[in-house]
Amino acid sequence: MSYEILEKTFYRLAQLDHAGAMLGWDQAVMMPPGGNESRGRALAELQVMTTEILQDPALQDHMQRALADAASLPPWQQANLREMVNDIKSANAIPKELVEATVLATNECEHAWRSLRPANDWPTFEPMLTKVVDLTRETAQLRRAALADEKGLVSDYEALVDIYDPGTRLAVIDPVFDRLKAELPTLLQEITARQSRAPAPLQPQTSIDKHRQIALARELMSILGFDFDRGRLDETAHPFSGGVSDDSRVTSRYDESNVFEGIMAIVHETGHSRYESGLNPVWRYKPVGGSMGMGVHESQSLFFEMQIGRSRPFVDAIAPIIRRYFGSDPAFSPDNLYASYTRVAPGLIRVNADEVTYPLHVIARYEIERDLINGDVTVADIPELWNAAMSRYLGLDTRDNHQDGAMQDIHWPSGAIGYFPSYTLGAINAAQLYRAMLRDIPDVNGCIGNLTLTPIFEWLSERVWRHGRLYSYDELMTRATGETLNADHFLNHLQARYLGNETSG
């Protein structure tokens, strides 16, 4: 009975989430600028309502009673209860005044960021970001204090990472990141030395009209199984995948003078979307039916982008499709496309980074945000820290270039601190999943080359998508791949792709 009351309550929370997801999509994609204040208020109030529901003392009584009877529940309901308990305890760790203040501050900061970034205006941005960081530190401290025993949290920052990637601990991240910091710079040198012996990839000689790029994007999304009866593609400054499982809202941007990256952004976001759409509909509107943390989410988008999208067989297969939309410019030959899609070079912008340098962008942010939250550095220190990290890991100078430096990401202004590690954990998971898939589908590359992708999607669905949050992170990965997080597969993948002979097609 108490369990059923919890389920009913979480059904209501799912509907509030639906409203929040769609209002957030609209804010980024459709809303005129003058609508921002009232939208911020509406989103804040929905958030407060969610918090109030989760902080209702009666709900905690039901939770205790449901926990006492948990043994009588079937496994999926036990998992659902575990997720509901986690949400209730997490919400009760943070007072609603802090939730509301954070929503208002991040809304203000993120909105300002949209114009301050192109203006390279760090001084105006700094106090706004300081407010966001201060509020987020407070959240981190309270969350750690409330959940430390149960979850074994050892630092304030870890309490934030656990929001985005439940179950992921710094004790797992740190050795992996240390290994990447040790191995990637050398690997990067070898790869760039090898690539410097070949001519630089060609860019198309004429710009490509945005509408043709959109038409191609839609065809590629269909090839990747996106259902336009259950989703949309729109344009934003920063590509994302949002909406709800039955109504997926993918966004992208279109650079008329550089079309290559837009194509891979579409492949990436479609991966996120397929995961959400592929969740088990039997558990719709229940926490157990939701997606896992961002590490698993990124593993799906990066599986699509890195394991499928930038592979030689996929590039060969889509080259004629690209030519059908964009014409026969030599830049669209399979060889040149593949050279472009596997070009490795240190650059300032994370979202444009190749898969070899990307983890170094992440590690730089990880170290800065960890130290910010743990109180070891302040927002005012960021530009110098940023430049030091970019210089150390990638040999780049970012002094005074805030827009391509610490202001480039939406994460911090929107309060998503603790999120960055997920990208690299996802890249590692994706490589690990690909290795495991090869055992069941030896001819994965043949499937990709024919664009017969259904067996791949079915494998991902069976191993990952349909389980929602039934298993812990470690259990999901172990069931899918036979082992917990293992960076070997990612490093082997980079070796094979960039220093092996995959480039010969």
Enumerate binding residues for a second copy (CB under 8 A).
11-12, 15-16, 18-19, 22-23, 26, 30-35, 37-39, 41-42, 45-46, 49, 227-232, 243-247, 284-285
Q: Which CB, 13 or 494, lies closer to a second copy?
A: 13
Nearer to a second copy, 12 or 399 (CB): 12
CA 240-241-243 angle, to 5 degrees, is: 130
How many angstroms separate the CA atoms of 112 and 413, rounded? 9
DSSP three-state, residue 312: helix
Rounded least distance, CB 373 to a second copy, Å:
30
> Between residues 19 and 223, which has the closer beta carbon with respect to a second copy?
19
CB of 9 to a second copy, least distance (A): 11
Task: Supply the angle between the helices 122-151 and 358-373 in degrees, to the nearest 10.
Answer: 80
| Nearer to a second copy (CB atom), residue 177 or residue 285 | 285
Contacts of 357 (CB under 8 A, 6+ apart): 184, 188, 344, 345, 346, 347, 394
Q: Which is nearer to a second copy, 227 or 397 (CB)?
A: 227
Residue closer to a second copy, measured from CB, 49 or 264? 49
Cβ at position 36, least distance to a second copy in Å: 8
Between CA 421 and CA 411 the distance in angstroms is 12
Closer residue to a second copy (CB): 233 or 430: 233
Report, in Å, the least distance between residue 48 CB and a second copy: 8
Polymer length of the chain: 505
- From the CB of 8, what's the least distance to a second copy, in Å? 11
Alpha-carbon distances of 491 from 57, 314, 477, rounded to whole Å: 49, 21, 18
Alpha carbons 60 and 8: distance in angstroms, whole number? 14
Q: Please, which residues have CB within 8 angstroms of residue 280's CB and are 6 or more apart in sequence?
A: 289, 465, 466, 467, 468
Shortest Å, Cβ 159 to a second copy: 29
In the bound state with a second copy, the residue whose beta carbon lies nearer, of 18 and 253, is: 18
Question: Could you tell me the smallest distance in angstroms from the CB atom of residue 485 to a second copy?
Answer: 33
Strand order in the sheet with 231-235: 231-235, 247-252, 241-244
Q: Taking Cα atoms as reference points, which of 22, 492, 85 lies closest to residue 247? A: 22
Q: Quote the tokens at residue 64.
A: 């205790």
Residue 12 CB, nearest approach to a second copy (Å): 6
